[in-house]
Amino acid sequence: MKNAFVFPGQGSQFVGMGKELAESFSSAREVFEEIDNTLNQNLFHIMTCGPEYELTMTINAQPALMAVSMAVVRVLEKDFGISLKDKATFVAGHSLGEYSAACAAGVFSLADTARLLRTRGDAMQKAVPLGVGGMAAVLGLSYKDVNALVEACEDNNSICVAANDNSDGQVVLSGHMAAIDKAVEIASEFGAKRCVKLPVSAPFHSPLMQPAAEVMARAFMNVQANPAQIPLIANVLATPITNEKEIIKHLVEQVTGSVRWRETLEYMHNQNITDIYELGAGKVLSGMIKRGYKDINTASACTPAEVEELAKNL
């Protein structure tokens, strides 16, 4: 048996996440309290009580999702005596989830990870004025086949890139709103089943995020980083790394670069990973794994019952 642990990204958040964990485990409450104190904000109240629009704001969603993921990790460690470094062959995270993975692997402290994600969320939101950029999910086209659509939507005034290669038949585009609107309009001509705009406030993982990448490069200068105790599969590489300087370099590149998630899962599969567990809110990543790899066991862990079940399996 070879295990990997993956961590969700933006879009997996929901009002109420982390509430049951905090009620059941003091170790989870400690995580939420430390993050609240670090950010000087009652983020846990927003996570558990809403309002939803406030939780969905990038500046809140990013540290909030990391908080739930790390609460699960802490409960496994403190309450069930399970250390990820003893059980994991790899860790990986989708977009902001890569920060959760790095924290779980011991690269950054919990407080520094919260500060980094608060900075990242703020910088990504400010990089492009509201309404200038957007994102759209293309269903029914492979990463290779979507390139023709991308080229048709780009021109001298509009950027359009494949931002997330999530799975066979699901690629997310990012760029100027004019290009995204055009993609939605003409995608069927290129063989797509559907192309739908996403409810996001900025064109993440596109060259338009360069100002945010520069902010993050500066932010990492103020952070203590350690080698990863578990090999981390970087979004922009789809291969594992442990050197902390390399991890930081690729986290900066990730702001404007593509999330190579399909290749990340493919790499794990080729390395004979038998079980992949999603730690944190939602079931987006475990759903992708179930659809793409019938021979890999997968489960998500967010509630006390799910964490207890995971602990039994480990």
Does the N-terminal peptide bond of residue 63 adopt cis geometry, omega within 30 degrees of 0? Answer: no
DSSP state of 96: T
Alpha helices (H) in 128-176, listed in sequence order: 143-153
Contacts of residue 239, Cβ cutoff 8 Å, sequence gap at least 6: 233, 267
- Residue 104 in contact with residue 84, Cβ under 8 Å? yes
Question: Are β-strands 88-93 and 3-7 bridged in parallel, bridged antiparallel, or unpaired?
Answer: parallel
Tokens of 223: 């952070």
Residues found in the chain: 314
Backbone φ and ψ for 12, nearest 5 degrees, come out as -85, -10
Calpha distance 295→274 (Å, rounded): 7
- Residue 207 in contact with residue 257, Cβ under 8 Å? no
Calpha distance 131→246 (Å, rounded): 34
Contacts of residue 27, Cβ cutoff 8 Å, sequence gap at least 6: 71, 74, 75, 77, 78, 79
Calpha distance 22→19 (Å, rounded): 5
- Residue 173 in contact with residue 163, Cβ under 8 Å? yes
**Catalytic (active-site) positions:** 95, 205
